[in-house]
Chains A and B, each alone.
Chain A
Amino acid sequence: MKHESIEINAGLLIILTLVVISIGGLVEIVPLFHIKNTVEEVKGVRPYTPLELRGRDLYIREGCYACHSQMVRPFRDEMLRYGHYSLAAESKYDHPFQWGSKRTGPDIARLGGKYSDEWHTQHLIRPQNVVPESIMPAYPWLAQNELKYDDIEKRMKALKMTGVPYSLTEEEYQANVAEYGKEMADKLHIPNAKATLEAEATSRNWDGDKSRITEMDAMVAYLQMLGTLVDFKQYEQGYFASFR
């Protein structure tokens, strides 16, 4: 084909341009699908329980990711401030992941357990109540709105299609028992989801009001588990470096 005939034929030029760009993209992306060992083998990472999952959905609904990243980078200053750097394995059940890149607020990848439930509730209702200099907007409706969870099974089924090991069948349930223990496997069983969520919401005084299941319950449950799944004391520092 002569160069000139491509240059003067716009349709052909577009198609050939797309082909060339796709090759460039595929060469960059496809090999990563086959490199399994970039996801660290680490104990403790599990899917979200129903209440945490609803909290995560609210996190996305409210656009928290626009100001908060969930990715501690492997730098000394970040280790000293936030704790251990984030692992790929820690977000392997995140669809979509919430790494983010904008830190108007602090990184919250290791937020779980750092503050009390009451603090989170007060802070979300009006951040300036607890941190006067904060520029974070208030989310008072979280404490007022009843949590909608009649579709929790569908949400879990959708995630299951992407490879998150929620269980539907007895066989899948048993596999989860072997992997996460019975208590957790029960929480990850889709047919139980509604009852599990109700039990989780009332088992702990998330938002200071046990009589209702609010969006605040789910949000605090999610924030309090962030970054707590892996026990880093079990591993040598060099172990995680071997995956890079």
Chain B
Amino acid sequence: MTNPTNKSKQVETTGHVWDGDLREYNNPLPNWWLWAFYATIVFSIIYWVIYPAWPVGKSFTRGIATVTVEENGQTKEMPWNSRSQLIAEMQSSPAAVKQREYIEKVAAASYEEIFANPDMMAFARSMAKGYFGDYCAACHGQGGQGNLPFFPNLADDDWLWGGQVEQIQVSLQAGRKGNMPAFPNIQGQALDDLASYVLSLSGEAVDAAAAERGKQGYAMCMGCHGAEGKGNPMLGAANLTDKAWSVINIPAAGSIEEKKKLVAGVINKGIAREMPAFGNRLKPEEIKMLTVYVHELGGGK
């Protein structure tokens, strides 16, 4: 820029000169930019008046905007903020109102009425699918297929704690603590015999003589699993006579020796499993819809 161009003759410079020859044009700001700038200032002043904005001493200006909410059956005006806005949205946004209409219907209905009403069923199913995905699927899998050896299958017709709606509801509300004591003193031949007998209950091809010998040892299992091994849903004791295994994966085990080893492991180490309680986290009607869903998953009882 040693030779100023034509333009520099028309436009004024700031008058500052650097390095002897560097000059700066003093062009005015474009009008559109200037007015947009003034508009932002006006906008901010309006915003300060309407919304929470300026700190004043130990408090702050809350603005003149209000939100109408309902509390204890009465409507009241609250100063606008994201939390009061949320209360209003939970109460009266179109989606919430529509949803509540159905939720109230489901809440008032008995399980029989829900099962008999396709409309309510469709609603409960679609709501519960979300709850199931968030709360249950982490352990029991997206389809309720379970995850042995840790978490039981909900999609079969075998229920540790009972498959009637009342029982499922209690499981959800209060959680379950499954506990089988360990029997570390049973070892060697006795352990092998007992494992054989337990496997024979569900028709596994074990040595008949060993199973017969193991029958004696089974006496101490009867308290929970019953004389015939049918289990006890009051205690969460598994039915040993069906082919549904809820703590060890017998069908996946290859040989009969492997199967015996799995059963022996349970006898020696016991089982301690816990399902969390959701009574505090989910509302009663949410538990109800989830009960319907879980009941349906396993074909229910």
- Do A and B bind? yes
Q: Is the CB of B58 within 8 A of A34?
A: yes
Given A116-B273, A116-B275, A118-B273, the answer on whether A76 and B90 have CB atoms closer than 8 Å is yes
Chain A, residues 107-146, CB within 8 Å of chain B (1/0): the string is 0000001111111001100000111000000000000000
- B83 sits at the interface (CB 8 A): yes
Closest A residue to B99 by CB, please name it. A80
Query: Which of the candidate stretches A91-99, A213-221, A235-243 sits at the interface with the other chain?
Result: A235-243
Given A7-B16, A35-B59, the answer on whether A238 and B275 have CB atoms closer than 8 Å is no
Q: Is the CB of B84 within 8 A of A241?
A: yes
Closest B residue to A232 by CB, please name it. B280
Q: Is the CB of B90 within 8 A of A79?
A: yes
Chain A, residues 16-56, CB within 8 Å of chain B (1/0): the string is 00000000000000011011110000000000000000000
- For the complex, count residues of B whose C-beta is within 8 A of A: 40
Closest CB-CB distance, A46 to chain B, in whole Å? 18
Q: Which residues of A contact B89 (CB under 8 A)?
A: 76
Q: Which residues of B contact A243 (CB under 8 A)?
A: 83
Query: Which of the candidate stretches B41-49, B115-123, B133-141 sits at the interface with the other chain?
Result: B133-141
Closest CB-CB distance, B176 to chain A, in whole Å? 10
Q: Which residues of B contact A31 (CB under 8 A)?
A: 55, 60
Closest CB-CB distance, A72 to chain B, in whole Å? 11
Q: Which residues of B contact A244 (CB under 8 A)?
A: 52, 81-84
Closest CB-CB distance, B251 to chain A, in whole Å? 19
- B258 sits at the interface (CB 8 A): no
Closest B residue to A81 by CB, please name it. B134
Q: Which residues of B contact A83 (CB under 8 A)?
A: 281
Q: Which residues of A contact B78 (CB under 8 A)?
A: 238, 241-242
Closest A residue to B286 by CB, please name it. A80
Q: Is the CB of A130 within 8 A of B150?
A: yes
Q: Which residues of A contact B95 (CB under 8 A)?
A: 76
Q: Which residues of B contact A114 (CB under 8 A)?
A: 135, 276, 281
Q: Which of A4, A122, A205, A237 contacts B87 (CB 8 A)?
A: A237
Q: Which residues of B contact A117 (CB under 8 A)?
A: 274
Q: Is the CB of B16 within 8 A of A4?
A: yes
Q: Is the CB of A241 within 8 A of B139?
A: no
Q: Which residues of B contact A75 (CB under 8 A)?
A: 86
- A180 sits at the interface (CB 8 A): no
Closest A residue to B95 by CB, please name it. A76
Q: Is the CB of A115 within 8 A of B138?
A: yes
Q: Is the CB of B86 within 8 A of A37?
A: no
- B73 sits at the interface (CB 8 A): no
Chain B, residues 29-63, CB within 8 Å of chain A (1/0): the string is 00000000000000000000000100101111000
Q: Which of B96, B138, B275, B280 contacts A76 (CB 8 A)?
A: B96
- B126 sits at the interface (CB 8 A): no
- A74 sits at the interface (CB 8 A): yes
Q: Is the CB of B58 within 8 A of A76?
A: no
CA of A143 to CA of B195, assembled, Å: 30
CA of A204 to CA of B151, assembled, Å: 19
Closest CB-CB distance, A233 to chain B, in whole Å? 8
- A15 sits at the interface (CB 8 A): no
CA of A80 to CA of B14, assembled, Å: 60
Chain B, residues 129-152, CB within 8 Å of chain A (1/0): the string is 000001101110000000100110
Q: Is the CB of A34 within 8 A of B276?
A: no
CA of A197 to CA of B93, assembled, Å: 48
- A85 sits at the interface (CB 8 A): yes
- A8 sits at the interface (CB 8 A): yes
Closest CB-CB distance, B35 to chain A, in whole Å? 25
- B71 sits at the interface (CB 8 A): yes
Instruction: Give me 12 other A-B pairs in contact (C-beta within 8 A), A34-B57, A131-B138, A205-B272 excluded.
Output: A32-B55, A34-B58, A74-B86, A79-B90, A85-B83, A113-B281, A115-B139, A122-B150, A237-B69, A237-B87, A241-B84, A244-B83
Residue ranges of A at the interface with B (Cβ–Cβ < 8 Å): 4, 7-8, 31-32, 34-37, 74-76, 79, 81, 83, 85, 113-119, 122-123, 129-131, 205, 236-238, 240-244
A-B contact pairs, 26 of them (CB 8 A): A36-B58, A37-B59, A74-B85, A79-B90, A81-B134, A83-B281, A85-B83, A113-B276, A113-B280, A115-B138, A115-B276, A116-B273, A116-B274, A119-B139, A119-B150, A119-B151, A123-B138, A131-B138, A237-B69, A237-B71, A237-B87, A238-B76, A241-B83, A241-B87, A243-B83, A244-B83
Question: Across chains A and B, which 6 residue pairs bring their CB atoms closest together, nearest first?
Answer: A31-B55, A244-B81, A241-B83, A241-B84, A74-B86, A116-B274
Residue ranges of B at the interface with A (Cβ–Cβ < 8 Å): 16, 18, 52, 55, 57-60, 69, 71, 76, 78, 81-87, 89-90, 93, 95-96, 134-135, 137-139, 147, 150-151, 272-277, 280-281
